């Protein structure tokens, strides 16, 4: 028993000869571009024809993204089923392909998230009326399922392909397998993978990577490792992406010792399996999350011995873990070592200052920040802003002012901090410092925010009339 909406899709062709022009149609056509208008006119004239898709090919107007988007906007709400049929047809034309953006637009305008039944209705109608479907048509439908991350609907569509004598290819299986893996339904995904071999549609690199990632994310590590070996038999050589997915799962659900073993395997295999800085960072992050920052130092040694240079993300992660666990001296040793590999002392010590600040050791963070400035190191923007903002919050306005005066990165400090400092200096009647800061703000084109009138009056009191006028006129 089909819903009335299905039967309306392919109504009796007697309606072909009936005029269906209406005021609404006239309005749609009058507000459409020429190409979209021609397609809309054709759709509305032939909407009740069972072979509407075949007749669309007779329209000679250019089919492009703008045209498709306009058709969707005009009729998606009032006639979503007709609109979906047009969208599916447009998606497999030789001169045009839907972009990911267009799939997103169609999914939203057609309301597939609220009414997934619309896709089921269309396919059931194709089957009921023995409409000749193709794999290309189903590929468009599956991409809509992917847009909505709807694994259940995607699996249903894949099953319906067989009923309509359409043979899914590897790409189509991959779409559904990915959706199932994202949902965590690994048994169903494994079943589809086995099914591929049975019908001589073999998994490819994408299939294996998605499956290994999915199995790793739910802790089924033995099966993930088994797939890594099996893929070689199918001519798919594991690469860094494959091993990284497996490595992430081992770090989360397995032992860190096994993670180190896998790292060594990757280093030994080399080639496409060679670990990169992201691979090493993943393992370091997992060690740190398990409060094993000291043990993570061996990974730093291992990667540098392998010839892979650490980046700031890895170093920041490691320094934060060491500080959190009370190993500040070890953090200093790390900084000394990695600075020799090209990462600046300023960047490393900025990470140290932020790490100390985040774990509540704000006095130590301030001390190291001052040492950086005294030693000629340039803190990064975020670190400078964090420390000086904290001093302002503690009402240590002069201290904050002197740090800005010392800092070589004044232009990168958040602009609102200057305004807070300026207001504080004026309120405390530190006129000389206020004038110096105002001159710096004018020079750096930093707009004054907050009590502008009070600051201008303060500058005028200390005889800085020109400066008062200048700072009031700075625009961001």
User: What pLDDT score was predicted for residue 243?
Assistant: 86
User: What pLDDT score was predicted for residue 146?
Assistant: 94
Burial, 117: exposed, middle or buried (Cβ in 10 Å; 0-12, 13-18, 19+)?
Answer: middle
Alpha carbon separation from 461 to 369, 385, 427, 441, 464 (Å, rounded): 34, 30, 13, 19, 7
Residue with the two structure tokens 């985040």: 358
The closest alpha carbon to 206, from 158, 241, 246, 167, belongs to 241
- The Cα 281–Cα 45 span in angstroms is 60
The token pair that represents 146 in the structure block: 């992917």
User: What pLDDT score was predicted for residue 239?
Assistant: 85
Mean pLDDT of 233-239: 84
Q: Please indicate whether residue 177 or residue 78 has the higher confidence score (pLDDT).
A: 177
Q: Please indicate whether residue 159 or residue 49 has the higher confidence score (pLDDT).
A: 159
Per residue, what are the HEC states of 332-363?
HHHHHHHHCCCCCHHHHHHHHHHHHHHCCCHH
Q: Is the pLDDT of residue 191 over 90?
A: yes
Average pLDDT, the chain: 85
Mean pLDDT of 256-273: 84
- The Cα 469–Cα 438 span in angstroms is 11
pLDDT tens by residue, 323-382: 999 999 999 999 998 887 778 899 999 999 999 999 999 999 999 999 999 888 888 889
Q: What is the dihedral of CA 116, 120, 126, 127, to 10 degrees?
A: 180
The closest alpha carbon to 238, from 272, 212, 210, belongs to 272
The token pair that represents 155 in the structure block: 């699996």
- pLDDT band per the 50, 70, 90 thresholds, residue 66: very high
For the question of whether the overall pTM of this predicted structure is more than 0.85, the answer is no
pLDDT tens by residue, 291-309: 999 999 989 988 998 989 9
Q: Is the pLDDT of residue 234 over 60?
A: yes
Backbone phi, psi, residue 61, to 5°: -70, 155
- pLDDT band per the 50, 70, 90 thresholds, residue 427: confident
- The Cα 262–Cα 80 span in angstroms is 51
The token pair that represents 336 in the structure block: 């000394």
Residue with the two structure tokens 């600040």: 357
- pLDDT band per the 50, 70, 90 thresholds, residue 49: low
Q: Is the pLDDT of residue 2 over 60?
A: no
């Amino acid at each position: 028993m089909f819903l009335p909406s299905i039967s309306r899709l392919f109504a009796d062709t007697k309606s072909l000869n009936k005029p269906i022009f209406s005021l609404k149609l006239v309005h749609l056509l009058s507000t459409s571009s020429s190409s979209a208008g021609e397609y809309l006119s054709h759709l509305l004239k032939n909407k009740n024809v069972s072979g509407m898709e075949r007749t669309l090919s007779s329209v000679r107007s250019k089919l492009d993204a703008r045209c498709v988007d306009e058709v969707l906007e005009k009729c998606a709400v009032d006639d979503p089923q007709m609109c979906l049929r047009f969208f599916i047809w447009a998606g497999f034309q030789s001169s045009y392909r839907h972009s990911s953006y267009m799939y997103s637009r169609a999914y939203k305008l057609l309301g597939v998230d609220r009414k997934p039944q619309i896709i089921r209705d269309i396919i059931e109608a194709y089957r009921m009326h023995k409409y000749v479907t193709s794999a290309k048509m189903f590929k468009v439908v599956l991409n809509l399922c992917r847009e909505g991350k709807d694994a259940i609907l995607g699996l249903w569509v894949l099953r319906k392909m067989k009923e309509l004598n359409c043979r899914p290819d590897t790409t189509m299986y991959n779409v559904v397998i990915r959706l199932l893996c994202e949902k965590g339904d690994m048994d169903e995904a494994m079943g589809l993978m086995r099914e591929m071999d049975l019908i001589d549609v073999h998994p490819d690199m994408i299939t294996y990577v998605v499956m290994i990632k999915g199995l790793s994310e739910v802790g089924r590590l033995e099966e993930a490792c088994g797939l890594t070996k099996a893929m070689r038999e199918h001519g798919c050589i594991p690469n860094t992406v494959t091993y990284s997915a497996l490595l992430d799962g081992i770090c989360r659900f397995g032992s860190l010792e096994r993670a180190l073993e896998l790292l060594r395997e990757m280093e030994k295999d080399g080639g496409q399996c060679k670990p990169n800085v992201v691979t090493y960072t993943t393992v370091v992050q997992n060690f740190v999350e398990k409060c094993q920052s000291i043990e993570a130092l061996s990974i730093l040694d291992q990667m540098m011995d392998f010839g892979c240079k650490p980046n700031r993300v890895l170093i920041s992660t490691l320094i934060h873990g060491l500080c959190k666990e009370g190993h500040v001296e070890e953090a200093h040793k790390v900084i000394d070592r990695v600075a020799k590999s090209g990462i600046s002392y300023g960047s490393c010590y900025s990470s140290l200052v932020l790490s100390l600040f985040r774990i509540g050791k704000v006095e130590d963070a301030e001390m190291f920040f001052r040492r950086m400035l005294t030693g000629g190191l340039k803190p990064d923007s975020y670190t400078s802003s964090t420390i000086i903002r904290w001093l302002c919050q503690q009402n240590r306005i002069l201290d904050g002012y002197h740090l800005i005066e010392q800092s070589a990165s004044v232009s990168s400090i958040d602009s609102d901090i200057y305004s807070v400092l300026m207001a504080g200096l004026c309120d405390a009647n530190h006129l000389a410092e206020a004038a110096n800061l105002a001159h710096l703000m004018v020079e750096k084109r930093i707009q004054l925010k907050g009590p502008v009138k009070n600051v201008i009056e303060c500058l005028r009191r200390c005889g800085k009339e020109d400066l008062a006028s200048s700072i009031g006129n700075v625009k961001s």
